[in-house]
Structure 1
Amino acid sequence: MAARSCTIPGNPDIAGVGVRIAIYVQTLLCFFPAFWALFDGKVSQGELDAAENQATTNLVLAFAILISSIVQAQTLGLTNYHASIVLNMSWLNNTNAFIYFLLYIQHKSQAGVRGRVAPTWRAWVQHIRELAVSVVHPGTAKAHPTSAGSDPELGHTDGVASIRNGVERTQLKDIDDIQGNEDYARTGAKLLVKRFVLLLGSLHLSLMASLGLWLWSNIRTFGEGQDTANDCAAKHALLAILGRHVPFASEALRIVSLAIYAIFLVPGVNLLLPIVVFLGFYHLHQVVPIPKVAGSERTPDSYIRRSRFWFWIRRASNTIVQRWAILPPCIGLLFLLAINLVFIIDIELALKQNAGLQSKDESEWGFGQILAMLLLFMPLRDLAETVLARRMKQRQKDLDMGLIGAINSKDRSMVLTWIARGANPKAKLEGDISPMHIACHFDDLDVIRTLLEAGADPNVKDGHRRDTYMVDSDNTNCLRLLNRVEKGSIGLKSDILSVMYWRTDTPV
């Protein structure tokens, strides 16, 4: 009965069921495209951009809730009890930045990515240091090339210095210095725009930490004009921590909260702890030996067939082995998902436990709750765009694989058919291999000509470097045809006759 002697004023715009549902749904929705991106074993640039768009949308909404709460605490008044709910929901909202950063680590650590960064402590410390130098002092970024080679994020490109030597390099040195300084002066701004979600996430963490330090410095004097409600919450309210009820005025809870929010106060630095945790998953992944595929020669088939249970165990084991490379980000996503579920359960347990302290207007549907539900359309739209884009990507991949099959079979009519259906003659396969690579490998001049007429790039490349020497050593005729196309003479009648003569493989 003592607990009912005082009342905490309701605040449906913060603790209302509509606001809570909107935040819970948009937080859990961000995991769906993340797991989907990892399903095929790698994170493409398009999937990373889609995750960035969704995370940016959710973080903008999170900023609105956090800023409005701080303004309300300084003007109209916000109780310490509702401030604690805002902090818990802010942790949920910031999950978007953590998910994006986890996908970013996986993308940068993949083979074949420009500026690849190995998933090791030393490599990422070096990469983060170079990113910081590029943002804070762009002029020095040029003096610290990344060990991974070309990195478009830092403004580094391969092959530029290799085409200049002797007199050319001396004559262009001054021009390069001037142009280089201008380019690197823009590198910092480009990085902030390119990885805007990381900037938003870091600033959101700092703003959340500021509110947390303000609240837990003294929960009784928090805000303006709410001393009575704050005192009521401090005496009678209970918070849920990992499912257990803890008094709001607990001194141990206050000390731990101050320490946690102090860690996340400084922008940029507050991302170091998630980095350490995520890289820890990669470190464990490198230490643990790669398991073998179940059902090998040492496993009798009769043992596997004894029950369906062992069949599904073997199938699940083989799936894990085949996707062993994406195990660290999957563990990271499951770790974040578990933390989010804990926060959601703790928020609901605290609201249920303290229902007797709150006024009845907590459940009223006002402008804030309706607006929160309507804004849920934005992350749903981003999710729908991600699903549609992935379906289109899969269709394009199927068309490109059909084109590769036609090139392998040296069937010019099928090559034309697949191109007419929408296959991309400039497609890049695993290892950065293009259809032109394969056509040159098979010495099929008809297919090469068809690809060139369809718009294929005549500059045959291996990775991110020109590799005409490989074409020259394998097939001089293919190289000649590519050079003619590059000069714009493929449409001439003499070019057709040259192709006929080249089939005889006459020496150059």
Structure 2
Amino acid sequence: MSLAPPCTFPAEPEISGLGVRVAIYAQNLLSFIPAISALSDGEVAPYELDAVKDQSTTILITAFGILISAMVQAQTIGLPNFHANIVLNLSWMNNTNAFIYFLLYVQHKSQLGPQRIKAGLTSWFKHFYGVTKSGERDLNLKQEDSTTTLQNPSIEPQSILAVIFRVKVRGVVAILGSLHLSMMSALGLWLWINPLRFGTDAEANACAIEHSSTIILGKNIPLASSGLRIWSILVYAVLLVPGLNLLWPIVLFLLLMKFYSALRKPHDRRDARRQRAKRLDSAESPSLLRTPESDPAPTVPPGITKRARRLARRSLWALQMWYNPFLLPTVAGLVLLFVINIIFIVDTEVTLRQNRFLLEAGEGDWSFGQTLALLLLVLPLRDLRVFGARRDVTGSLRNAVHWQAQTEILWDLVRRGADVNVQAEGSRYPTVLLLVVGRRTDVEFTRILLSSGANPDIADSTDCTALQSAASQGKVEIVKLLLAHGADPNIAGGQHGTALQAAAVAGNAEIVKLLLESGADPSIEGGQYGTALQAASSLAYPEIVKLLQPQRGGGHWLC
């Protein structure tokens, strides 16, 4: 014969019913699928980051509903502090999406390429504040990291958080994540500053404080525990201020990166010594310098299919985790977030089960709110479908590049999230950037492609980069854009050699000066005429000869 409970408090199926809990559990666990898929090849492409952003935004918007409902009910008809604690557990899980997006954003920005940020606290501090070494705003950070935005990348409205705290808060995920943390903290402080006076249901609050408990990491802690109350107040006070509440997880992750980078330093030093030795050997043996004739493209062994090569690349994921400085911490962060979610699920379910004798009848009743919560799962499931469809869009862009489709078609595919670096094998211009620069003069589209992560150093079928092509054709504005987005002016190949040699052959003094100011090396030999100076002299371009001639009494080249 079971004993009657000393007291009871009302059931709240609309707030913490089975349907609501299952919906929150499912949508947060689903958020790991795009992240795992994005990291499956060792890199996070812009369209993959954009897909994660879409899903995170959807889940964060719906996560505000349970917080707002709990606050309104507590102030009107009453909400027991026991159920408010359950709401906080569910809200902690809803923060997962913002942190997943942050991890993938850091991974995306740390990858090799023109937009790469070095693995250091100082570099990332400057990045988040949007300041370059010269103290100017970094123009590369003026566009939100989304390939679906085809607006002028030099114009980006600042968020309220950025204005108040002077922090470069990026995109809607960061803003929603920060505001959700603040609203959750406000509810937590309201609850734990005085649990007995929370809301309007004083009788239910007294019953919960005296007889109920909560599970934290498998440990049963009474709701009346002073230690639980003090720690809760401290944690929620730290996370209350918008903008600043995102600094704590960011700092912790970057400190982890600093520790990981310290472990990698011996390996990096060995690589640096090997690179220096290789450069010295190349300087002593000019005949060993790379040319298209002496260093042909590697051939594919017979019998190796395209699918087999892709499988082989993905089997090297563990090796990529070592050579990519952020991949291992990113994967470790995702694993930690998944474990935290499982812990919250188990703790919440055990808490409800242990205290069900104090709940009035009706906690398990099905309600309209629970049905609505389950129906909202359609949104993250839809985002998963869109994520998979991005790969189809990328395939369409590859075909469009191969057949040199109209600019409007290329523009639309990039806007829909295709990978701008996808390569059409066997084409004269294998990437959309090479096609746009080599065959068309579209400065705005070039700007969008570069801001969306297009790699300017990929070569076409003649071993010529986009910078070399633009320099040979006299496209000054496009040359400026390519250099501003990290194009290497010293890559040798193609008909003329380097971009500087191509500009000298074309007789364009303005481009020659731009390349010299960007670090182009005039001593590199190649092409029909040898060095850029020899080309300008042979073709009788005195203004370019004057730019390229060394200064008297020194080894510096005039810029």
Q: Is the 8 A contact 1:290 1:321 kept in 2?
A: no
Whether 1:211 aligns to 2:191 is no
- State the Cα distance separating 1:128 from its structure 2 match: 3.1
Q: Provide, for residues 55-94 of structure 1, a one-character-per-residue CA deviation record: whole Å limited to 9, x for no partner.
A: 1111111111101111111111111011000000000111
Q: In structure 1, which of residues 149, 153, 176 is the aligned counterpart of residue 142 of structure 2?
A: 153
Whether 1:323 aligns to 2:351 is no
Q: Provide, for residues 19-68 of structure 1, a one-character-per-residue CA deviation record: whole Å limited to 9, x for no partner.
A: 00100011011111112112222222222222111111111111111011
Whether 1:230 aligns to 2:205 is yes
Q: Is the 8 A contact 2:212 2:223 kept in 1?
A: yes
Alpha carbons of 1:290 and 1:335: their partners in 2 closer, same or farther (altered >3 Å)? farther
**What is the correspondence of 1:41-440 to structure 2 with a 5 Å cutoff?**
41-114=42-115, 116-130=116-130, 144-145=135-136, 150-153=139-142, 186-188=157-159, 195-224=171-200, 226-289=201-264, 319-324=317-322, 325=324, 326-393=327-394, 396=397, 403-407=424-428, 431-434=455-458, 437-439=460-462
Letter of the 2:424 counterpart: L
Secondary structure at the aligned position of 1:356 is classed as helix
Q: Is the 8 A contact 1:281 1:331 kept in 2?
A: no
Letter of the 1:433 counterpart: D
Whether 1:470 aligns to 2:498 is yes
- State the Cα distance separating 1:364 from its structure 2 match: 1.1
Alpha carbons of 1:365 and 1:86: their partners in 2 closer, same or farther (altered >3 Å)? same
Q: Structure 2: how far apart are the matches of 1:154 and 1:185?
A: 6
Alpha carbons of 1:142 and 1:13: their partners in 2 closer, same or farther (altered >3 Å)? farther
Q: Structure 2: how far apart are the matches of 1:402 and 1:215?
A: 56
Q: Provide, for residues 235-288 of structure 1, a one-character-per-residue CA deviation record: whole Å limited to 9, x for no partner.
A: 211211001211111111111111111110111111111102221332232122
Q: Structure 2: how far apart are the matches of 1:3 and 1:207?
A: 38
Q: Structure 2: how far apart are the matches of 1:475 and 1:202?
A: 49
Q: Point out 4+ residue stretches in structure 1 off by more than 4 angstroms.
A: 183-194, 315-318, 394-402, 406-409, 425-431, 456-463, 465-469, 474-480
Q: Structure 2: how far apart are the matches of 1:441 and 1:142?
A: 31
| Structure 2 residue aligned with 1:296 | none
Name stretches of at least 5 consecutive residues in structure 1 with no aligned partner. Answer: 132-140, 156-182, 293-314, 410-414, 420-424, 443-447, 484-504
Name stretches of at least 5 consecutive residues in structure 2 with no aligned partner. Answer: 145-153, 163-167, 268-312, 403-421, 440-444, 490-495, 512-534, 540-559
Q: Structure 2: how far apart are the matches of 1:457 and 1:22?
A: 55
Q: Is the 8 A contact 2:143 2:156 kept in 1?
A: no
Alpha carbons of 1:3 and 1:469: their partners in 2 closer, same or farther (altered >3 Å)? farther
Q: Structure 2: how far apart are the matches of 1:348 and 1:100?
A: 27
Q: Is the 8 A contact 2:130 2:141 kept in 1?
A: no
Alpha carbons of 1:154 and 1:472: their partners in 2 closer, same or farther (altered >3 Å)? closer
- State the Cα distance separating 1:393 from its structure 2 match: 2.5
Alpha carbons of 1:188 and 1:239: their partners in 2 closer, same or farther (altered >3 Å)? closer
Letter of the 2:99 counterpart: F
Alpha carbons of 1:408 and 1:52: their partners in 2 closer, same or farther (altered >3 Å)? closer
Q: Structure 1: how far apart are the matches of 2:363 and 2:176?
A: 31
Letter of the 1:204 counterpart: H
| Structure 2 residue aligned with 1:412 | none
Q: Structure 1: how far apart are the matches of 2:345 and 2:238?
A: 23
RMSD between superposed Cα atoms in Å: 4.1
Q: Structure 2: how far apart are the matches of 1:70 and 1:193?
A: 27
Q: Is the 8 A contact 1:209 1:261 kept in 2?
A: yes
Q: In structure 1, which of residues 432, 435, 441 is the aligned counterpart of residue 464 of structure 2?
A: 441
Q: Structure 1: how far apart are the matches of 2:23 and 2:374?
A: 6
- State the Cα distance separating 1:406 from its structure 2 match: 4.8
Alpha carbons of 1:354 and 1:457: their partners in 2 closer, same or farther (altered >3 Å)? farther
Q: Structure 1: how far apart are the matches of 2:354 and 2:161?
A: 49
Alpha carbons of 1:39 and 1:71: their partners in 2 closer, same or farther (altered >3 Å)? same
TM-score with structure 1 length normalisation? 0.68
Alpha carbons of 1:189 and 1:16: their partners in 2 closer, same or farther (altered >3 Å)? closer
Letter of the 2:236 counterpart: Y
- State the Cα distance separating 1:478 from its structure 2 match: 8.8
| Structure 2 residue aligned with 1:162 | none
Between 1:120-129 and 1:252-261, the stretch displaced more is 120-129
Letter of the 2:345 counterpart: I
Q: Structure 2: how far apart are the matches of 1:83 and 1:282?
A: 36
Alpha carbons of 1:143 and 1:477: their partners in 2 closer, same or farther (altered >3 Å)? closer
Q: Structure 1: how far apart are the matches of 2:380 and 2:223?
A: 34
Q: Structure 2: how far apart are the matches of 1:237 and 1:465?
A: 60
- State the Cα distance separating 1:358 from its structure 2 match: 1.2
| Structure 1 residue aligned with 2:285 | none
Q: Is the 8 A contact 1:48 1:104 kept in 2?
A: yes
- State the Cα distance separating 1:190 from its structure 2 match: 11
- State the Cα distance separating 1:125 from its structure 2 match: 2.5
Aligned length: 401
Secondary structure at the aligned position of 1:439 is classed as coil
- State the Cα distance separating 1:473 from its structure 2 match: 2.0
